Each structure stands twice: as structure tokens, then as C-alpha cells.
Structure 1
Amino acid sequence: MTQTFTTPPADRKPKVRSPRDHLVVRALRTVQADGVAVYTFFLPGADLLKVAEISRVHRDADGGGLRGFQRREIRDHVRSITTFLDSGHSVLFPNAVLLAITPRATFARSRGEKPAGEVRAAEAGTLYLPRPTREDAPKSAWVIDGQQRCLALAQARNCALPVPVVAFASEDLALHRQQFILVNKAKPLSSRLIDELLPEVSGDLPRDLAPRRVPSALCDRLNTDPDSPFHGIVRRPSDPGIGGPGRPPASAGVVIDSALLTVIRASIASPLGALAPYKGVGGRPTDAEGMYRILLAFWSAVRDTFPDAWGLPPGRSRLMHSAGLQAMGCLMDRIMARAGGATDPRRFAREALGRVAPHCHWTEGHWAEIGRGWDEIQNVSRDVRALSDHLARLDHQATFARAVA
């Protein structure tokens, strides 16, 4: 089959070609997507982090916008690669590092006669990558895949080892995150990190990832919205940790995001879930705003009903434990399904929860009906099911008694 080659953008030669200003490499260039230039070349391993940054995932100091996308350094992994590189044996290191490079990088096409029968999939030439002019100046590339290798290569004694690089020209952070997720999807990348990054990705995603974007966006909004009962207490992979200089106070991050995501996904997936009516069907898009209103109303009512159990670490309150959140998520589906005609859903939920509250033991006491002490409830299917069924029975009995009265 004959391959076609899209003509790349016109060459832009740099004004200055001094090695002090540019890293100069021989490269192949092609074009993919909507005119995105893609390059392949080799660099000495020690030069990778001279031009490329590792953009770690983190939040702004005020807990707001998400920055970066890379997971933290895995020191044991880096150390093992460095040991391999410095082993003294003949080293084969063909694994390409994937970079995103600034469109300010320039490419000068090679001149000369083309060989007969050439398959025009790429063009050869010289790539000029800008070097940072100061130590604190931004670099011209970002590591998308291969950060552990880059760190190991920077530490290795064998600093001249040529490493294959594939790079695409883009400064679009959303595109960087999309490619990072796609490259790492089949690797042991934290599912929680993928979930946190998904709302920040605007491009198309594989079929198994796309449905995860809305629940993660809702989880993120619950954590960042000042009006949300979960504001500032959801623990996500971008959190630097609890305690220590510049880290969140001990009261922060008491709810793990995976527990909240489980609640949201279950409600969307169940035909009787409170969020299911807002799910996109056919040509109708998902109403994420409608889902958020339900979540905000119910969980605000939960906080109002159980103020002494809200916001505490799971070890002190099983309401904030994964098992408690999932059980209350099932109760949300029951209560909010009846709140359709209510003018004030939050008040409706608060009244319904108030009838159940006297029988709950989130911080002390004993769940006699299921034979568990308050702190014996664990995040295992048996306990979650038993607690969910018990709360459902309490709600049913209270609702039936009210209807009879």
C-alpha cells in the first residue's frame, strides 16, 4: 500500500544557530493530526533534561487549578535503570522517550536528490531546539513518557548513550495530558491519577475512558466548589500529602476520591440511580449540571444531619469512610428519586435523613441489626452491602410510617 506524506509547515530557520542558543540534532519530520509536526531523532541521554521539563501534577497553592500531569518520581525504578546503565556491559536502550516540544523549535529541511522509489512518510533535516538562556528560564520541551528513564540517564555515568526520541510540536497542556493518558493507559498508572486528569483533557478518548470523565469532573467540582460540603476535604493524587511545611492541615483530605467516584459511577450506571436520568442517551448529551445539583443537595443535607461526624478522618467517623460513603450513596438513590417534585431538594433530603439519623452510629455505638461496632465497618463488599441494606430498611420503615400517619 502506498503511503502518503503531508507537506509539513514551511521551514523557519532560527536567527541564531550557536550551540549555546540551540541544541542541534539531525531529525526526521512528518505531520499528523491537524498539522502537528512530529519529529524523531537521537539525543545523548544526559542532554534530555537540559531541554525537557518534567511537569508534575499538582494544584495551585490555594487548592485551585490543576497543573502538570506527571506522577511522582519512583526512586527505586530510577535507581534500577541507573544501575543497569552503569553496569559496564554493552547497553541496548532502544526505548524512545516521548516529548512535547515548543513550536518555537525550527527545522531546516535537507537539500539534495531523493532516492528513487522513496516512500515519502517523512523528511530529513536539522532540528534546532532552543536552549534555556538562564537557569530559571523555561525549557523548550516537556516529558510525556519516559520520565523515570530521563532521570536515570541524567544520573548515569554513561552520559553519551544515544537515546531515541519522538517529539510532537505543541504547547497545549490538554494535548500533553491526553497523550500522557493514552501512552500510560496500558501500564501500571494509578487509576486515581488518570481520573483526576480526565476532566482536563479535551480531546477524544478511548471507549473505556470516556465514561470516566464526567464522574471525575463532578468529584473535582465537589472538592473545589466553596458551596460544596466536600470543599477541600477530598484527597486526590495531586495533593502533596498531610502535614509538613506547605502541606494541607491535618483536617484536609479525609475523603479519598476513589470512594466518591464509586458513589457517583454507581448512581449513574444504575437504572434506579438518582443521577441516571441525567445520563446522555442517543443524541442527548449528559446533563452534568443536573447531576451536580442532586449531589450538592443530598450531601449538603448529609452534612447538616450529621455535623459531628462530618469532616473527620475515617478512623474517627465511618460516615467519611469508603464503606459509609458507598452505603450513603445507595440511600441517596432512594431519597433523591422521591425528591423529583420537591421545590427544595436539600430540605427534602434533610427531612428524610432526619428520620434515619437516630438509628445511625457513625462515631460511636453499635449497629445491632448488622452485628457491627461503629469502627468495625470495613470497605469490603459484605459490610458495604449490609450497611446499605440496613439504611434502606430504615428509610423504607420511616417513609411507610409517615405515609400511614
Structure 2
Amino acid sequence: MTILKFPAIRARQSEAHTVLSFAALASDLQKFAVIERVARDAEGGLSGFQRPQIAGHIREIRDYLEKPEAILPNPIVVAFTNNVEISDQGGDGRCVVEIDVASGAPGMVVDGQQRLTALGQVHEKDFQVFVSAIICRDDEELRRQFVLINNTRPLPKSLIYELLPTVTGLPRRLGDRSVAADIAARLNYDKSSSLEGQVYQHTNPGGMIRDTAIQRVIINSLSDGVMRELIREPDGPDLCFKLISDFYKAVQYVFKDEWKNHTPKTSRLVHGAGIMSLGYVMEILVLLDGARTFDDFAKGLACLIDTTAWTSGEWNFAENDKRHWKSVQNVNRDITTLAQYLVTIVRADIRRRRKETQGNVDEPRQTIAGA
């Protein structure tokens, strides 16, 4: 059978969308709905949107569903963009849904992936479940519904953020994050990036740097830093990408031993606190030292070499504030303290270098005048 038919109820919710509810056997549900896992292709292109399976949670649901008294009142939410026909059966919302599965399952699971996976592992009975169906005009609208539906539920925020660049028409708070998420993803997947493959995302679980930390650096800069102006240029995203890539390339060069082969547990340099506090250093070097390239940033960071405790020793934040290197945590208080400490050293070094440069310029002039 290539056409599956279900009596349904249509809800009047939005003129732009069709929302339905019907009951379906788990075996039929698996014919018309699939779980599309979030992934990246070789070029870094994003596909899918569902998080990885949680094996323990799925086993718990399966074990429960195998019991005679089991019920599953929560619906599986499925979105369609094609191969669905709806025939009204009266003016009270009753209708018939026809789903064409000849070319495969046309529906995408928006919510309930763990439940659906568990249902597929129950072999003693064909469990009937409720389905909430959303008819979307295209794939972009489907992704938008996924983000909006799941943003209020306990899905990992990093997964939501990774999907944001593929969606438009979002609330402003998510739209602002989308720009940062897009640059962060490019830093992770662009071959020219100094951070290629090093950023932890759902599509790159082997990354050591949290994507949310990199996004916070970008968001701060877009709000009150150099990227606020750069992003307005015709090639703004490219300029922002190159700037932050060059900066962290310099960080990796200057602090080679504290970066290479380390994790957030073994080095505060690749820890969220280190990544975010160094973002403020980048801003100071751009603002006061005119830094724009890898060479500029490497020169500006050199003053920090003997004053940091990324992997051992103590941080001498103040005369009465000495801390073990590992005590710096990824909380606002510690990030602010570390950033202020680093920025103070960098500011002093910039002033010192300016004085030396000024002195070198004046001395020849005095010699020539005397002659």
C-alpha cells in the first residue's frame, strides 16, 4: 500500500499552517515519518536537525511500552512539506489525511524522536499513538517550526544554535544568535580556519572548544566591539570570520604548549573561561594597537607569555587574590576577573611599545637638528 489514510481532526490555529491530529499504528508511523539526524557534509553543509539518540532513555521508554498497562498520551509531532492530501469531511474540523509513501517517508519527526525509536523496538504489539501533523510550505519552514517548538523544551541549546543559521523569521533574540552561530560553524568547517575541527558541535562531538564560548566572543564583539562595524560592510561576515580566525591562530602560536593536545580539563586556555576572556583581549588589540592580522595579534599577545597560568601554577590577579590555575571556572565572575587581568597587562604593553616607538622617532630628529 503506497497511500496511507487516517481520519483526522484539523485545528484552526494559523492561516499560514495546517495542523492536524490523528491516531496511527507505530508500524504505519515508521512508514511515513523519519528521524533526520543533524550532520555536516564534507563541505560543512548542514543537514537534518535531530540530536543524537539517548540510548538509556530509549531503553526506559521501550521497557515501559512493553508492559500491558502502558499508555503514551503525548503525540509524536511530524512535519510534512509534500505528498500529503487532506479531504474535509464536514465543517467541524473532521477530515481524512492521505499520505503517499511510494517514494519513501515524506514526514520529518519534529518532536518525539526518542519515543518513536523506542516504539520501533517493541515487537510484541503494534502500539497506536497520537500524531500531531504540521503541513509546512518548504524545508525552511519545517526547520523554523522545529526550532520554535523545541526552544522552550529541554533540548541542548548548542543544537538549537547550530540550526539557527538555516532559519529565517525568528524572534530577535534568536536572530542575533544566528549570526554568531553561522560564523562559529564556519570557523569549525572552513578549511582556511585556524579552528577547523576544534569546535565542539553536535555535528562535531570531537571538538574541544565549546561552540557556545566562541559564539559568546562573537556576540560580544557584534554588540559592543569591532565586529559591530565590520558586519555592516558588504563582505562583513567574511571580515569577521578572518579577524577571529587570525586572532585564535595567534593564540595557538603564542601559547603552543598550552593549546596543543589539551582539553578544558587540562588547560584553561581552551576552557570556556579562557576562550571568552581572550575575546576581550582581541578587542583591545584591535582598538588600541590597530591589530588586524595574525602577525599583529601574535605581537600583541607576546606580553602574556610569562604572566599566565593556563596549565599550571597560580593566577596572580591581585596582591590578595592568588588562585590555583584550575580554580578559574566558566562563570561570569571568573571570566570577568581573568579578562580584566589579561587586558590590564596588554594595555600596559601597548603603552610601553608606544613610548619606545616615540622615543626611537624623536632621537634621530634630535641628532639631525644638532648636526
> Counterpart of 2:287?
337
> Counterpart of 2:253?
304
Alignment gaps of 5+ in structure 1: 1-19, 243-252
Distance 2:129 2:157 in 1: 29
| Residue of structure 1 aligned with 2:33, choices 36, 41, 52 | 52
1:294 Cα deviation from its structure 2 partner = 2.8
1:401 aligns with 2:349: no
1:120-269 alignment, distance < 5 Å: 122=93, 124-125=95-96, 127-131=97-101, 138-156=104-122, 159-170=125-136, 172-201=138-167, 203-239=168-204, 241-242=205-206, 253-269=207-223
Match of 2:24, SS?
strand
| Residue of structure 2 aligned with 1:277, choices 222, 229, 235 | 229
> Counterpart of 1:77?
57
1:96 Cα deviation from its structure 2 partner = 2.6
1:286-365 alignment, distance < 5 Å: 287-314=236-263, 315-339=265-289, 345-365=293-313
Match of 1:25, SS?
strand
> Counterpart of 1:64?
44
Q: Deviations over 1:59-112 (max 9, x none)?
A: 22x372222111122334334434444443374x443322123512334555xx
Q: Deviations over 1:160-201 (max 9, x none)?
A: 554232323448433322111111111111111111111121
Alignment gaps of 5+ in structure 2: 357-371
Q: 1:305 to 1:28 in 2, by over 3 A?
A: same
1:350 Cα deviation from its structure 2 partner = 2.4
> Counterpart of 2:22?
41
Match of 1:106, SS?
strand
Q: Return 378-387 or 39-48, whichever deviates more.
A: 378-387
Q: 1:220 to 1:311 in 2, by over 3 A?
A: farther
Q: 1:140 to 1:333 in 2, by over 3 A?
A: same
1:141 Cα deviation from its structure 2 partner = 1.6
1:364 Cα deviation from its structure 2 partner = 4.7
Distance 2:307 2:149 in 1: 49
Distance 1:311 1:287 in 2: 30
Q: Return 386-395 or 306-315, whichever deviates more.
A: 306-315
Asked if 2 retains the 8 angstrom alpha-carbon contact of 1:55 and 1:69, the reply is yes
Q: 1:86 to 1:145 in 2, by over 3 A?
A: same
Give identity over the alignment, percent: 31
1:25 Cα deviation from its structure 2 partner = 2.0
Q: Which amino acid aligns with 1:69?
A: F
Q: 1:316 to 1:95 in 2, by over 3 A?
A: closer
Distance 2:34 2:281 in 1: 47
> Counterpart of 1:98?
77
Q: 1:317 to 1:104 in 2, by over 3 A?
A: same
Asked if 1 retains the 8 angstrom alpha-carbon contact of 2:76 and 2:132, the reply is yes
1:148 Cα deviation from its structure 2 partner = 2.0
> Counterpart of 1:27?
8
Distance 1:398 1:86 in 2: 68
Asked if 1 retains the 8 angstrom alpha-carbon contact of 2:81 and 2:139, the reply is no
| Residue of structure 1 aligned with 2:343, choices 384, 387, 392 | 392
Distance 1:367 1:256 in 2: 23
Distance 2:51 2:75 in 1: 19
Q: Tell me which protein shows more helix as a share of its residues.
A: 2
Q: Return 51-60 or 367-376, whichever deviates more.
A: 367-376
Asked if 1 retains the 8 angstrom alpha-carbon contact of 2:21 and 2:132, the reply is yes
Q: TM-score, normalised by structure 2?
A: 0.81
Please report the RMSD computed on the Cα atoms of aligned residues, expressed in angstroms. Answer: 3.2
Match of 1:49, SS?
helix
1:386 Cα deviation from its structure 2 partner = 3.1
Match of 2:256, SS?
coil
